[in-house]
Chain A
Amino acid sequence: MRPSFVHHLHPPTIPARQARLRYTLAAGGLAVFLCLVLLVTGLLEMFYYIPTPDQAAASIQTLSFLVPYGGLVRNLHYWAAQFLVVVTVVHLLRVVFTGAYAAPRRFNYLLGIGLLVFAILLDFTGYVLRWDEGVRWALVAGTNLAKSIPLAGNALYAMLVGGSEPGPATLIRFYAWHIFGLTLLAGTLLVWHLFRIRRDGGIAVPPPAKRETQERITRYELVRREVAAMLLASVALLILSAFAPAPLAEPITATASLSGTARAPWFFLWVQELLKLGSPFLWGVVVPLAVLTAVSLIPYAFPKPVEAELGRWFPKGNRLAQICIAALGLAILLLTVLALVPAQ
């Protein structure tokens, strides 16, 4: 039987044990699905969004309140974006906790890190596009962090902001990055990442001789599981979008307001908390980049699980790597929680 295009994209069979939900958590697949949701809803939003400082927030209000189902499209886009960041991190943790980054998958692991970075950058640039009072200080703080970098800081700031302070040029640049630059780069990485999965031999699993079972599922069964997962994920996204609207504040005006709490978006709260410790360059640029580097070096620096241990959670062989990523993850989580606790 000659498979359809969608079936053809999948390997003919995959090992049954590693195809289970309890192994993969469906994290990678959900990430791909969320990307598709973001592309479609983002495209629909482009029909209404206007990337100028005086019209951006108003155009989002028009979309959210006056366009039929406009609010739904915006909310879907918002929640899909936030869950993409969460799901990507879950996928990263899964890969490290199962030791699935070991050679020959080390390069694909780096591609995945790259995708996480792009997901976060896309989330941030999308956040700024609101151009409302809620994002004003996050934008100022974020771009000032770029300026704090010695030697290259001012040039980097000029490239990002397009002027001496955030203004119309900044908005149009963030818009260009969000809908084109970052999307194109992320899309390329995504396709490459998915290709490398096949090239590297599919899902990480011990060689046949060392496997506990030879059971496999067909591509048809795999696609059925993916369809079920996408349907359930759609239901969850729709219900969330129906009851929890995406945030929107009043448009940024010329006079700087001191209203409310100036806060980073949730995925940067840990950096906001670190910045309380001192030098913006050290704690806002160097330390986060060091964390990223440390995570990227896991496949190269730590011992890997033995072949027989692949395809299962918490193999003994890469215990050190598991502890390291767990510690980093808990630290970031703790910093995020601390940032949310009101100041005493």
Chain B
Amino acid sequence: MRRLIVIASALLLLTLLGIAWQEAHRVKPVALTPTLTGKVEYCLSCHGDLAQISKSHPVQTFGCVICHGGEPLALDKNLAHSTLRGGANPSDFSVVQASCGGSNCHSGTPESYSDHIQRATTSIQATYAGAIAVMRYAYGAQSGKGALFGVNAVQDSASTSGITSLGAFDPAAETNPQLQLFGQNCLTCHLSAQPMQNGGRYDHFTGCAACHTPTQSTDLTSVNTRTATSVHELTTAISYTQCDTCHNRGNYDLRTMTFIPRTDQPTDRLHDYYQPIGQFTTCEVALDCIDCHTRTEAMGDGSLYGSKYDIQYIQCQTCHGTLTQLPQTKTLTDPNDLAFRLAGLNPVVNLQLGDTILVTSKGEPLWNTKVLPDGTYELVGKATGQIFTFKPVMGSGCQQDPNDQSSASCHKCHSVQR
């Protein structure tokens, strides 16, 4: 018995040493008390090497939990992640209000220009209402082309478009098999859907991150090594490659209701930007999508629409004017002008009071443009920083038909060869 006590004591000592070793090799807690919440969180204990997501969301101010959820005090992976909102993507529309919302954040009033969530969730990129309405009309499921359904059910009591709500489109409830196929094969390109293929040029997140998290590298010569899970970044400098994760990926066949992916493997911007079948001008290829398409075109204006043509309104004439009219401009005299706010978010230009910029027909400021003293115009690429100078149509040798301001008309002369 005495010998057993000696052995047992030795075992106990060994066990205690082992436990001390285990304790010393545990994850060291790294505390962060963000100034916005005042509550300590320990996410950085494991995620300390993660890049800061953006200059507007510094981790010392926001921390991690305010956007992502999760258990701030837990150092066990499963417990810490058990209450994460939206998994790896808190901007998914199912949880975006809790993550990105709040009147001081991105679900404020239109007057304060902070109604992003309300606009994005009712935008046509999110609801897909136009495509759904046209499909249902074409296959006899509804008698008119008016939008009745969206990808998710949405309400808009303050709508100026006449549409105050959309039901949730359910392909399984449709009687026409073509509509069911449409739901399966085509409804993968909206802001709530997972991308059609894993990785590659289709890779994007859902929700706000679909556009604002750059999962696509702009270097076309090398394989894109960024995957949706490895990118922790929010940006307003959205390159065309991000838009192209849904747009310009291929064509569709309405009879078989299938999507036919494009098969070319372009290694330069000219051939990558749009599909080989189209004709486009230099600026449509050299600029990024967001250099022309405005914030209401991409994110909606808060009202529900049944067709993209109700919200998409940018034309060549917006910047170039017509034979009889110069493009609309605005001189910035109010320091609270939206143009300064937008320019502050993406500092490729140094906008000053007194600068004259171009504006759209709805009055939206094209803050990355400038009217130069000699009457020409300048545009700076929001994602590339490239500077482009251009002249107005008025006073030039342009042979346009003044009544046809569509881009197809300009393409007749100005399209690039590829």
Contact = CB atoms under 8 A, between A and B. Distances in A.
Interface stretch (B4-12, B161-169, B320-328, B382-390): B4-12
A250 B23 contact: no
A65 B75 contact: yes
Contact of A228 (B4, B23, B29): B4
Interface stretch (A186-194, A196-204, A233-241, A314-322): A233-241
18 contacts: A61-B74, A64-B74, A64-B76, A65-B75, A65-B76, A66-B73, A225-B1, A227-B5, A231-B12, A234-B15, A235-B8, A238-B12, A238-B15, A245-B76, A248-B79, A249-B82, A250-B79, A250-B83
B220 interface: no
Contacts, number: 65
A72 interface: yes
Contacts of A251: 71
B22 interface: yes
Interface residues of B, number: 24
Interface in A228-275: 228, 231-232, 234-235, 238-239, 242, 245, 248-251
B354 interface: no
A232 B19 CA distance: 16
Interface in B1-31: 1-2, 4-5, 8-9, 11-12, 15-16, 18-19, 22-23, 29
A221 B2 CA distance: 9
A4 B29 CA distance: 46
Interface in A82-121: none
Given A242-B22, A249-B79, 11 more contacts: A64-B76, A66-B29, A69-B23, A72-B19, A227-B5, A228-B4, A231-B11, A231-B12, A238-B12, A250-B79, A250-B83
Nearest to A259: B82
B18 A242 contact: yes
B8 A72 contact: no
B240 interface: no
Nearest to A234: B12
Interface residues of A, number: 26
Nearest to B20: A69
A250 B11 CA distance: 36
Contact of A58 (B5, B12, B18, B73): B73
B1 A242 contact: no
A250 B69 CA distance: 12
Contacts of A239: 15
Contact of B19 (A66, A231, A238): A238
A68 B28 CA distance: 10
B202 interface: no
B16 A238 contact: yes
A14 to B, nearest CB: 14
Contacts of B273: none
Contacts of A64: 74, 76
A62 interface: yes
Nearest to B22: A242
A250 B16 CA distance: 30
A157 to B, nearest CB: 30
Contact of A61 (B1, B12, B15, B73): B73
A224 B79 contact: no
B71 A61 contact: yes
B19 to A, nearest CB: 5
B42 interface: yes
Q: Which of B12, B29, B42 has the most CB of A within 10 A?
A: B12
B24 to A, nearest CB: 10
Contacts of A228: 1, 4-5, 8
Contact of B71 (A231, A238, A245, A250): A250
Interface in B365-416: none
A19 to B, nearest CB: 11
Nearest to B1: A224
Contacts of B74: 61, 64-65, 248
Contacts of A62: 73
Nearest to A233: B8
A250 B80 CA distance: 8
A231 B8 contact: yes
A66 B42 contact: yes
Contacts of A227: 5
A231 B5 contact: yes
